[in-house]
Amino acid sequence: MESVPAARKSSSSPVVGVGLCDSVPLLWRVEDLKTVRSWGLVGALLGSLPRTPRQNGRLGRPLLLLPEEERLLSERHAALLLCWQDGGGPELHQQVEQYEEQQQRTYEEQTILALEDRKSALIRAMTPSHTGEALQVHLETLDQSFTFPRSALAVQLSTARVGLSYCPETRAFLRADWPIRVQDHCSGGVRYQVFRDLRGRGFYLTSAGKFGGDFLVYPGDPLRFHAHFIAVCLSLDQSVCLLDILAMARLGSGVKKTVLLCSPGTDGGVVYTSLQWSGMV
C-alpha cells in the first residue's frame, strides 16, 4: 500500500496505536511499525537495544513520529491512543513492593556468598607458616566486620526476547482504544501542508535537523536511497535574508542535495522552487 488509506473501511484498514510520553507520540508494537512504514512514514527509532548497548548506530523501539506524521495518521483515522493508567494505583504499588522484596532477598543471598568468597580467598592467601589459631582469629574478625555494599549488588536484567506483549499488564497497556488527540493548531500549518503534499506525491520524508532544513525528501524508502532534497518550509510572504538563502544553497551543493523552498499556495497546492549552486566561478 503506497499511501495511508483515505477512509477507514470497517475492520480491514489497520489502525496503529500511538503511545504518548509527555505529549511525544511513540509507536511501540512491531506490527504498527511495519504498517506505518508501508504507508511511507519513516519516523525515528529511539530505543536502545539491550544486547548492543553503548551505540546509537542501530536503535530499537519505540519509534518517534514527526508531528506531521501523527497528524496525517489522525486525519486518516488510522491511529488510536494507547491509554495507560498513570499516577500509580494499587497494582503498581504491589508490583513495586514485590520488586523491592525480591531485591532484598537477592542482596541477602549475595552477602552470604560474598562472605564465603572472602573467607576462601583469605585461606588461600595464608601461607603454611601461619598457625591455625591466627587463621581462626582472622576468619572471626571477617565474620563480624564484613559488610556487602549495596552498590556491589549484581542486578539481573532480562534480555531474552520477552517482547512487549509478554505480561498481562503490558498487554493491557498496549490495547489502543482511545481516540487520538486533536492537535490544536490552525488548519494546515505550513509544514504540515508541505508534508502532506510531498507524501502524496510518493516521497518519503524525515526530519532534516542535520542540514538546517525542515525535511529531508527521499525518492523512495530511506534504506534504499539518498535524499534528493532539503525542504525548507516557509509562507509565500515570509521574508528571508539573502545570506540565509546563500548559506542553504551552498550547503545543499556541498552534500549533493537540492534545496527546495516550499510554500503553500493560494489554491490549496504547494509551490516549489529549487535552489542550486550555479557553478559560475
Partner 1 sequence: MLGTSGRPGVTEKPPPPNWILVHPTYQQMKTLEVGDSAQVHAAFLVYMDLAEEHYILTVTLILSFAVRRWKEVSCVKSPELQVVLLEGREKEGAPVHTVLPLPVDQSLSHKSIRHVLDRGFPVLLCAVASDSTLVYQRMTDGLVTPDPPVGPFQDVGRRQHRKRRQQH
In terms of phi and psi (left: phi > 0; alpha: psi -120 to 50; beta: otherwise), the region of 22 is left
User: Is there binding between residue 134 and partner 1 (CB under 8 A)?
Assistant: no
Catalytic residue among 99, 204, 257, 272: 257
Quick one: which of 53, 154, 242, 267 contacts partner 1 (CB under 8 A)?
A: 242
Whether 257 is catalytic is yes
Segment 162 to 221, residues that bind partner 1, using CB under 8 A: 219
Which residues contact residue 1 at a Cβ distance below 8 angstroms, ignoring those fewer than 6 apart? Answer: 38, 39
User: Is there binding between residue 251 and partner 1 (CB under 8 A)?
Assistant: no
User: Is there binding between residue 55 and partner 1 (CB under 8 A)?
Assistant: no
User: Is there binding between residue 240 and partner 1 (CB under 8 A)?
Assistant: yes
HSE-up (13 A, CA, CB side) for residue 114: 15
The least distance separating partner 1 from the CB of residue 139, rounded to whole angstroms, comes to: 46
Instruction: Please classify residue 110 by burial: count the beta carbons closer than 10 Å to its beta carbon, then call 0-12 exposed, 13-18 middle and 19+ buried.
Output: middle
User: Is there binding between residue 52 and partner 1 (CB under 8 A)?
Assistant: no
Give CA 38 to chain center in angstroms.
19
Whether 218 is catalytic is yes
Quick one: which of 51, 241, 267, 268 contacts partner 1 (CB under 8 A)?
A: 241
The least distance separating partner 1 from the CB of residue 251, rounded to whole angstroms, comes to: 12
The least distance separating partner 1 from the CB of residue 228, rounded to whole angstroms, comes to: 5
> Which grid cell is 216?
529531508
Asked whether the beta carbons of 215 and 205 are under 8 A apart, the reply is yes
User: Rounded to an integer, what distance in angstroms lies between the CA atom of residue 69 and that of residue 62?
Assistant: 15
Q: In this structure, are strands 60-64 and 79-82 parallel, antiparallel, or unpaired? A: unpaired
Query: What is the per-residue binding string for partner 1 in 216-235, x denoting contact by CB under 8 A?
Result: ---x--------xx----xx
For partner 1, the binding residues (CB under 8 A) are: 219, 228-229, 234-243, 245-246, 249, 252, 256-258, 260-261, 263, 271-278, 280
